[in-house]
Amino acid sequence: MELDFNLYMQDLVQNARNELTEAGYTEMLTPDEVDAHLNKEGTALVMVNSVCGCAGGIARPAAIHSLNYDKLPDQVLTVFAGQDKEATEQMRDKAPDFLPSSPSFAFFKDGKIVDMIERHQIEGHEIMSVITGLQAWFEEHGKEA
């Protein structure tokens, strides 16, 4: 039996995308989409998705379960590192004080970066600690859902 690596990776990536979009996240696939979403007034959570284990085991579940909260950002968005490279780079350009990392979360308010949860704050941590960090942003900056 021969495994087609490219087919396997396409399936893996699509499943990782679907987890977030089915939970209500909007994908930003191009730099123009990043600008259109992040230049809006209001708040936006961006998950920088990836195929690594800590993305699938911690970050995506935290991204999904964090939305079960009374206050939420105006937009929940995602870019996919290593897949939608130009869109990911455009989002990272809007957070110049933070090193590129994936998975990660970026929180924007009125088009400006407020804070990030970087990979080192995800990998090796409990899902609940990441959820708590996201919901702290929602509490401070979000609106009643």
pLDDT in tens, 12-27: 889 999 999 999 999 9
Query: Does residue 8 have a pLDDT over 80?
Result: no
Contact 87, 31 (CB under 8 A): yes
Q: Is 45 helix (H, G, I), strand (E, B) or coil?
A: strand
Query: Does residue 143 have a pLDDT over 90?
Result: yes
- Cis peptide bond upstream of 73, omega within 30: no
**Can you give the pTM of this predicted structure?**
0.93
Average of pLDDT values for 28-53? 96
Q: pLDDT band for position 1 (50/70/90)?
A: low
Q: Tell me the percentage of the chain whose pLDDT exceeds 70.
A: 97
**Known catalytic residue: 52?**
yes
Q: Which amino acid is it at 139?
A: E
Strand partners, 103: none
pLDDT: is 1 or 136 the higher one? 136
Domain range summary for the chain, segments of one domain joined by +: 1-144
- From 13, 54, 114, 127, the catalytic residue: 54
C-beta atoms surrounding 42 within 10 Å: 13
Average of pLDDT values for 120-125? 96
- From 28, 45, 52, 134, the catalytic residue: 52
pLDDT for residue 145:
79
Rounded to the nearest integer, the mean pLDDT of the chain is 94
**Known catalytic residue: 131?**
no
pLDDT for residue 7:
75
CATH class label, 1-144: alpha beta
Query: Does residue 2 have a pLDDT over 80?
Result: no
Dihedral sign (CA 100, 103, 104, 108): positive
Average of pLDDT values for 33-50? 97
